[in-house]
Chain A
Amino acid sequence: MTTARPQKIADYAPLVFPAVMLTVFFVVPFGIMVAVSFFRRVQGAFYEPDFVLANYARFLSVFFGEVLGFSLVLAALVAVVAVTIAFPFTYLLARLPRRRQVLWLVALLSIVSLSEVIVGFAWSTLFSRTAGITNVLVALGLMDEPMSLSPSFGALLTGLSYHAFPYTVLVLYPALARLDPTLMEAARTLGASPPCAFVTVVVPALRNTILATLIMVFVFALGSYLLPQLLGRPSNWTLSVLITDQAIYQSNLPFAAAMAVFLVLVSLALVGLSLLVGRKEAAQ
């Protein structure tokens, strides 16, 4: 059915509404944002049209360098933690009986769709002095008195990994659910134990999937804008937080736009890379 080319102008009719909506409300806003990144900021007002590179020149400051470096390291850490736990987990999940698999998937979807506000609130409760996990440790006699664990870098890393974990499982799920079962059977017939077969056969067979997933989770973590504010210290702020802060609280839309353009370029390059890596595996 997909081989026929559109015959008459009328055949294009269904395309009109989606094309107009996506162009007007995605391409145009994107274009305006790029344009604003070259505008000049006016103190007390929003900005005025101009063509200046001052907003991009601010990237060369030590402060911006630190924030960028921290964001990249944090996102990389989250990606490694999430994929390390999610890969064996998803492998086991995809081999469960259908009913239990569906239950897990419902739980994972429910958590991944939670707002960062909710995840941040839930974890700051869990890390609090009055209602937190330290109370459990005190009850077990492992600690003398309950204490607050947030804000801290550890709290932020935990919250982000928690939020990224279900996302990682859902990204890995198709590849692992379609994995050829004969691979594992062959390894088992040749005498490998299940964990040994998993490490020496499944992981190498899917190394490109793992790499592509690492990149996807990296981009996901890079986009986190609220958890650093709720669970981390001001020194743990990421590029996304800085963009929000500049746009809303400092009313410096041109600088925020310039940083956003930068973030787009980084993300697009990474997503493109992950698609390339993924395609290579599909071709094999």
Chain B
Amino acid sequence: MSRLLARLFMAVVGIVLAAPIVVVAGVSFNAQRTLTFPPVGFSLAWFGEIFADAGWRGALLTSLAIAASSAALAVAIAFPLAWFLWRWHAPWARLFQVLGTAPFILPPVITALGFLSFWATAGFYGAPWTVVISHAVFLVTLPLVTITLGFSSIDPSLTEAAATMGADDRTVLRTVVLPLVTPYLVSGYAFAFVLSLNEYIIAYMVAGFTVETLPIKIFNALRYGYTPTMAAVTVFFVAAAALVFSLVARFGDLPRLLGAWSSRES
């Protein structure tokens, strides 16, 4: 009885979670230029428009470029920091760990406004690369958390053995540590990539008038009324996120990454 109730409860939550996405997906297949559900006719034209229309295509490419480079920069900041904190005992360096976590926990408007004041003062307000740096600093938390987790899961006897055999720090890092941490590094990159792709307020405040990312483009388009193209872009976003996280789950241990003890041996 209670097992049945539990299943029913989870099913209802699943339906509510899926409902908006299902409706939006339905709308994106409409044959006419109206937002109706269930869809009238079937057409993939609105998905084609993302690539055919110069505005949408430009926004898509801008978003992908910003996400790819800011995630890379975030990993480049997080990796040496996480490695240092794992390799050495230096309590004061934890300060930087806190700094790396703070932007993500505070309301994003605050970080966005900080960046706006900073770039305006520095005189680079509106330059596309400022979005890359801003996103990297904002999202550094994600690779920092995953990579730190990766280091903590390394069996100390492995590095000790390597050191006993005469390997110096650099060799241990390259031949032992790096291969073990790589899955966590990739997951950190993936998390930062997807979140940068979806990020709106920072990109908008830093360079909203010159750089148009996909979320900014959608929001701007919303003011002039709804079109099925937006629905198609939304489906694209959901699919991209689901694909990336599925890959993370396929090649890594997702429950462990999200804080459960490793369930792999069970």
Chain A CB within 8 A of B219 CB: yes
B residues within 8 A CB of A26?
99, 102-103, 111, 114, 137
Q: Give chain B residues whose Cβ lies under 8 Å from the Cβ of A21.
A: 77, 136-137
B5 proximity list for chain A (CB < 8 A): 195
Taking a contact as CB atoms under 8 Å apart, the answer to whether B215 and A260 are in contact is no
Q: Is B212 an interface residue (CB 8 A)?
A: no
- Given A15-B96, A115-B200, A271-B105 in contact, is the A130-B34 Cβ separation under 8 Å? yes
Q: Is A164 an interface residue when CB atoms closer than 8 A count as contact? A: no
Knowing A4-B88, A92-B9, A122-B23 touch, does A29 contact B109 (C-beta < 8 A)? no
Among residues of B, the one whose C-beta sits closest to the C-beta of A111 is B17
Known: A2-B88, A125-B231. A253 touches B109 (CB 8 A): no
| A33/B200 contact (C-beta < 8 A), A117-B215, A121-B234, A125-B24 known | no
A43 at the interface (CB under 8 A from B): no
Q: Number of contact residues on A: which range applies?
A: 35 or more
Partner of B108, one of A15, A126, A223: A223
Stretch from A50-58, A60-68, A169-177 forming part of the interface with B: A169-177
Q: In the bound complex, what is the Cα–Cα distance between A132 and B263 (angstroms)?
A: 41
Contact across chains for B215 and A1 when beta carbons are under 8 A apart: no
The 0/1 profile, CB within 8 Å of B marked 1, for residues 9-36 of chain A is 0011011011101110111111011001
Q: Choose, from B43-51, B178-186, B254-262, the stretch at the interface.
A: B254-262
* Cross-interface CB contact of B258 among A170, A219, A240, A267, cutoff 8 Å: A170
Within 8 A of B (CB), among A179-237: 193-195, 219, 222-223, 225-226, 230
* B210-233, CB < 8 A from A: 215, 218-219, 222, 226, 230-231
> A residues within 8 A CB of B3?
194
A247 touches B86 (CB 8 A): no
**A89–B76 contact, CB under 8 A?**
no
Measured CB to CB, the closest approach of chain B to A266, in angstroms, equals 9
The 8 A CB mask of B236-266 against A (1 = contact, 0 = none) is: 0110011001100100001100111101001
Nearest to B263 among chain A residues (CB) is: A98
Residue contact A125 to B23, C-beta cutoff 8 Å: yes
Contact of A247 among B116, B137, B191, B199 (CB under 8 A): B116
Question: B114 to chain A: closest CB distance in Å?
Answer: 4
**What 3 A-B pairs have minimum CB-CB distances, sorted nearest first?**
A174-B259, A223-B107, A177-B260
Q: Which residues of A contact B (CB under 8 A)?
A: 1-6, 11-12, 14-15, 17-19, 21-23, 25-30, 32-33, 36, 46, 85, 88-89, 92-94, 98, 101-102, 105-111, 113-119, 121-126, 128, 130-133, 135, 162, 165-166, 170, 173-174, 177-178, 193-195, 219, 222-223, 225-226, 230, 240, 243-244, 247-248, 253, 256-257, 260, 263-264, 267-268, 271
